[in-house]
Amino acid sequence: MSLIISDLKVSREQTPIISGVSFTIAPGELHILSGVNGAGKSTLLNALMANPLYEVTAGSIVLDDTDLTSLPTYQRARHGLFLSLQSPPEVPGVPMDDFLRTSIEAITGERPHTLPFERDFQSALGLLRLDPKFAKRSLNEGFSGGEKKRSELLQLLMLKPKYALLDEPDSGLDQGAVGYLIEVITQLRQQGTGILLVTHYNHIITALHPTIVHHLKNGLLA
Ligand SMILES: Nc1ncnc2c1ncn2[C@@H]1O[C@H](COP(=O)(O)OP(=O)(O)O)[C@@H](O)[C@H]1O
Ligand SMILES: [Mg+2]
């Protein structure tokens, strides 16, 4: 049981960006992805989640024995893959709690029961030090940079994916919020979620005790 990426090559508008990367994330492992701006970190994460702007030209992505390589995003999500975006979009008119209920239903095929949903929701809000009023605000609308990042972490805690791809979840967070990020990552790993996390910050890498740090350069991992 693991997420196995084998010799993956990815292009954007016919330009090769990822030139053949391989690694395997086991449940509960934390893999850090580092590299300079423009190295292709977001490209790799978007390709893993089947963003149609990115073309996988070779290689494979296998999650717990299911070959995801040619599956669209929603099917990858149903198999337990989650991507938190570097710049999450605003979705006016859709309150956070409705969005989360609908997302859980889309992934599991069942509308979540009210009591366990509310219990998990309150516990996630508490962990992220978010005001309960957050539940009724439209998804990311008018959120500060740090609030958008915490809204992504809220989705992560509620959806409980098998594998999470986190693109710079620490950008725009103040010192206190970095503390919650570390708690969220630790809790997810204890639940068995495998994580691929992009960050530029050495103090965050040190605090997270990762399984391994991958460095992306010239389209290859070092
Ligand atoms: N629309 C595009 N068309 C072609 N190349 C792009 C496009 N968008 C980004 N790129 C290029 O892809 C490369 C990787 O970008 P990105 O994956 O965002 O890097 P990182 O996340 O590591 O900073 C960069 O060289 C960037 O200029
Ligand atoms: Mg990026």
54 lines ligand 1 (CB under 6 A): no
Residue 91's pLDDT is 87
Q: What is the number of domains present in the chain?
A: 1
pLDDT at 124: 94
Residue of minimum CA distance from atom 18 in ligand 1: 42
Q: Who's near 207: CB < 8 A, 6+ residues apart?
A: 182
Count of residues for the chain? 222
Number of the ligand 1 atom closest to the C-alpha atom of 216: 22
- Contact between 140 and 89 under an 8 Å Cβ cutoff? The reply is yes
Atom 14, ligand 1: which residue's CA is nearest? Answer: 40
CA 175 to chain centre: 21
What's the 43 CA to ligand 1 centre distance in angstroms?
7
pLDDT for residue 53: 96
Ligand nearest to the CA of 168: 2
Q: Distance, CA 42 to ligand 1 centroid (Å)?
A: 8
Strand partners, 194: 163
Eight-class DSSP state of 111: P
| Residue 209 pLDDT | 97
pLDDT given for residue 150 in this prediction: 87
Whole-model pTM above 0.75? yes
Look up the domain containing 82 and give its range. 3-221
Give the residue among 160, 159, 163 at the shortest CA–CA distance from 2. 163
State the CATH number of the domain containing residue 66.
Answer: 3.40.50.300
Low-confidence ranges of the chain (pLDDT < 50): none
**What pLDDT is recorded for position 135?**
87
Are the CB atoms for 29 and 205 separated by under 8 Å? no
Is 10 exposed, middle or buried (CB count within 10 Å of its CB: 0-12, 13-18, 19+)?
buried
pLDDT of residue 146: 83
What is the structure's pLDDT at 123?
93
Q: Report the run of H or E that residue 62 belongs to, with start and end.
A: strand 54-63
